[in-house]
Amino acid sequence: MNQFNSFGCTNTDGESETSGLGSMGYHMAGYLRRKMSSKDALLINDVNKDACERFSKDLGDKYGPVKLADSAKDAVTGAKVVISIVPRAENVKQVYLGARGVIEAPPDPERILLECSTIDTKTTREVEAKLREAGIGRYFDSPVSGGVIGAQRGTLSFLVGNPRNDSDPVNQRILSIVSMMGLPEKVTFCGPIGTGTAAKIANNSIAATSMLAMTEAIGAGIRAGIDKNVLYECIRSSTGQSWVLENMQPCPGLVPHAPSSNGYKATFLPFMMVKDVTLAVETARRIWRMLVGTN
């Protein structure tokens, strides 16, 4: 029996659950379990044991074995594919390099480890180097984009830190794995380790500044006298059209699935946006210059 492993970590700073088997990881793991062979086992591990139990109850009996592991080490032992998504860089380090972490699992050069969190490139390269030295497997930064909606629909984008090469059997394996959770045409192999993370930081910086600009502009347009529905149609058919407009629309009643049309229920928690914008600003300061708009 082959084994897949999906694990995560919820934040512990008073906010509600965000990752692992939370807003993103729960749906990602769900698509894995649905699309994997029913003979293969899916191992899950999260600091929120209630989420693990709920996942096992919701999906385990229907699609194949779901096993709950007590630690990242236990979850990875025997697994050929490892997928993780956690809130911050310190969580990634704890999962992979900490006590009872991935690095303590038996070595396996054929193991694929896909780390889907949005973190800094320095941590990405540090974790990869230590896992490679320990022979744990092939580690790739594979951050996702598309938000909770993309995770729910199975339409996520994956930005993978490995050189583009369609004939590379490792890339073929990665593509087959992530296509269970996203769209094959939205999987991009970005280059050496860390480039997937760099691409995600740039993307999230654009999304954040676009959201701010959109909110200000739509508010100004409505106050200038144009009906919100007409303004929305004008922007949709013009150069202001964007993913942010269609999914994070700040004005209620225009996009049914947007948070604004659902009591402003957060799908991407504010502290995560602060983290991502901070990543962009700090990365730019370290290697280039200040990002005036993002800052």
Contact yes or no for 97/104 (Cβ under 8 A): no
Measured between its terminal Cα atoms, the distance across the chain in Å is: 50
Q: Are 76 and 105 in contact (CB under 8 A)?
A: yes
Tell me how far apart the alpha carbons of residues 101 and 69 are, in angstroms, rounded to a whole number: 12
Q: Which two tokens stand for residue 40?
A: 């293969």
Residues with catalytic annotation?
Answer: 200
Distances from the Cα of 164 to the Cα of 147, 176, 250, angstroms: 24, 15, 37
Distances (CA, A) of 168 to 33, 165, 189, 233: 26, 5, 11, 44
- Residue 67, beta-bridge partner list: 43
